[in-house]
Structures are given as C-alpha cells and as structure tokens.
A and B are shown apart, each in its own frame.
Chain A
Amino acid sequence: MTHTRPEPVQVVKQRRDAALKALVDGIPYVTFLGIAFERHGDELTTVLNYKDDLIGNPTLPALHGGVTAAFLETTALIELGWQHLWSEIESGRLDAETLGPATLPRMPKTIDITVDYLRTGLPRDAYARAHVNRSGRRYASVRIEAWQDNRQRPFAQATGHFLMPTPSEE
C-alpha cells in the first residue's frame, strides 16, 4: 500500500506563482496601467495601483472611465487565461518552469463588454475579481466587479463575452 505524501508547500507555491507570472508578464498594457495580481489558491484579485496618470477628471478628481473599463476587461481576460492555465499546470500537461510565449496557451479575445459605472472611482487603489458565468468550448461569459475601500460598495461592474482560443491556435 503506497501513500503519496502531499507536495511541500514551497513546491506548490513556486509552481503556481511561476505560472501566474508567465501569464501576466510581458503584457505591456498591464504594466502601463500598473495592474498587479494577487493569488490565493486559484482565486485571483487584480489590483490597480493608483497613480496620477489614471485620472480622467482632475477637478473631482476621479479615475478615467476608460481606465475602469480597461481594469475590468483585463481582470476578465486574465481570469479566463488563468483558469485554463491552472488546469494545464496542475495536471502536469504544462511545466510552469518552462512557460513562455511559445508554450503559453493563447489569450481569449474580447467580443463585447458592458461597463456599469456605479460611483466615482476615487484616487486610490482599486481591486477587482471576475466570476466566470459560463465558459464553453468557443465562448465565455464573465461578470466582473471592482471596488475600492469597501467590498460591499463596488464602484463599477461589467459583463463581457469572450472568444476562447481554438485548440489549433494554441
């Protein structure tokens, strides 16, 4: 009777963090906006680190509506990419250590996104999480919520539809 011991925590963490880093590193626009990603198990929270460049209306001041839309869209795209990558990595089909542009699964493409601006985006950090309503072979529907000080008071939410990469494109 053989019993396989669970992997050491460092090994698990290193593999998952390397996979996430490979997914989000090298996307210039993510760096341009200053978006970071926090991982708890497979749950991702995207963080929009505040900088003055993100302001659309200096008199309020308020985050630019386009920044908010971009933040929500990025959250959805990375969540979809991450869910796919997670299963590939955890099943051992892909090796997190050798992930690169050639081996990474292709990113989904946005078909449409509807952004609901609930309140003014304040000049401070913002957070967002995506919930995949449905992810089929070809299409995915994702809901995203963004908040600042209070998780219960989102300042924006969105629903988007995405085209999933076909296996031949991967």
Chain B
Amino acid sequence: MTDPEDPRRALARQFIEALPHCKALGLMVDDVQDGFAAMSMPWNDMLVGDPTTVVIHGGAVSSLMDTCSGTAVIAHPRGPTSTATLDLRIDYMRPATPGQSITAEATCYHMTRTVAFVRAVATDDDSDNPVATATGAFTVKT
C-alpha cells in the first residue's frame, strides 16, 4: 500500500469514485502507481446474478475490471489525458464466494502513441485463486 496522502491516488479516487456507475457499484480505489491500479467492490446483494447460488453477476466483475484497467492506463507515466475501452476479454475462472468483496489489480504493460494494452486480475478473499482475468486494448488520447 502507498502512503494514504499520495496525491495521485487521492486524485484518482476523487475522480473514479465520483463516476455515476462506479458510485452505484460502490467501487473504491485502493492503490494507484505508474501504469497500475487496484480497486475493490464491496459485497452487495443487488449485484447477484444467480439467485440459486447467490453468486455475483459476471457483469459487475466486468465493470470493476474495466474501470480498474482504464485507471491503470490513465496512471501510465506517459500521461494520457483520457482513454476508452476498445476491446476487453474476460475469463471467468470460478464463481466468486458470496458475501465477499472483490478486488481487482490492473497493469498497463505496454503503451504506444495510440493504444494501451492492459492485463487485470480479480480475486475475492482467496487471493491465490483468481475469480477472473481480463486483457484489454484501450484508446490513448494525449
């Protein structure tokens, strides 16, 4: 974890946590570094996708991964001013455990003048076993 006073993290948190859909999901920015972001989504009954198993809907996990990936792009040292998702692939390894919050970490591992490439992983309390992974391509506006 970084120092809670870290200005970049504070700025990212202010910005991300104010976006309407992120607010609706209760997304929290946990960490921001060069080309890296960590975020969490607290457990919420309203996000359940299968009432029989009480497992969270994959779509909510997608929203978390997409937001986290976009933040990793903005946090890249090359300093893009804005970004948008071009393509996002999500692989679901296992159902998330009901009642637990989900944490995502995204790394922007390569950036050209126009495109950013991102990998992300989401876990619940069992952080050694990913719930889902994502790879995406994002637009870069400088």
| Residues in A whose Cβ lies below 8 Å from that of B24 | 32, 53
* Contact-residue size bin, chain B (C-beta under 8 Å from the other chain): 35 or more
> Is there contact, CB below 8 Å, between B20 and A70?
no
| Residues in B whose Cβ lies below 8 Å from that of A120 | 84
| Residues in B whose Cβ lies below 8 Å from that of A33 | 59
> Is there contact, CB below 8 Å, between B45 and A110?
no
| Residues in A whose Cβ lies below 8 Å from that of B59 | 29, 33, 66-67, 69-71, 73-74
A70 to B66, CA, bound (A): 11
| Residues in A whose Cβ lies below 8 Å from that of B66 | 56, 64-66, 69
B34 CB to nearest A CB, Å:
23
> Is there contact, CB below 8 Å, between B58 and A27?
no
Within residues 45 to 104 of chain A, which ones have a CB less than 8 A from any CB in chain B?
52-58, 62, 64-67, 69-71, 73-74, 77, 101
Taking a contact as CB atoms closer than 8 A, the residue among A55, A69, A106, A116 that contacts B63 in the complex is A69
| Chain B 1-40 interface mask (CB, 8 Å, partner A; 1/0) | 0000000000000000001111110000000000000000
Which of A27, A66, A71 neighbours the largest number of chain B CB atoms within 10 Å of its CB?
Answer: A66
| Residues in B whose Cβ lies below 8 Å from that of A74 | 57, 59
> Is there contact, CB below 8 Å, between B20 and A28?
no
A58 to B16, CA, bound (A): 11
B98 CB to nearest A CB, Å:
12
| Nearest A-chain residue to B65, judged by Cβ | A66
B99 CB to nearest A CB, Å:
14
Q: Tell me what chain A mostly uses at the interface: helix, strand, loop, or mixed.
A: mixed
| Residues in A whose Cβ lies below 8 Å from that of B62 | 66, 69-70, 73, 113, 115
> Is there contact, CB below 8 Å, between B89 and A64?
no
Within residues 32 to 63 of chain B, which ones have a CB less than 8 A from any CB in chain A?
45-52, 56-60, 62-63
Taking a contact as CB atoms closer than 8 A, the residue among B51, B70, B95 that contacts A28 in the complex is B51
Query: Is B116 interfacial (CB-CB < 8 Å)?
Result: no
Query: Is B85 interfacial (CB-CB < 8 Å)?
Result: yes
> Is there contact, CB below 8 Å, between A31 and B87?
no
Query: Is A39 interfacial (CB-CB < 8 Å)?
Result: no
Between-chain CB contacts (< 8 Å), 17 pairs: A29-B46, A32-B46, A58-B19, A62-B84, A66-B59, A66-B60, A66-B64, A66-B67, A67-B63, A70-B59, A70-B63, A73-B57, A73-B59, A112-B89, A117-B84, A117-B88, A120-B84
- Other A-B pairs, 8, CB within 8 Å; known A28-B46, A117-B88: A28-B51, A64-B21, A66-B63, A74-B57, A112-B92, A113-B62, A115-B88, A115-B89
B-binding residues in A (CB < 8 A): 26-29, 31-33, 52-58, 62, 64-67, 69-71, 73-74, 77, 101, 106-107, 109-117, 120
The 8 closest A-B pairs by CB, nearest first: A70-B59, A66-B63, A29-B57, A64-B21, A69-B62, A65-B85, A66-B66, A114-B89
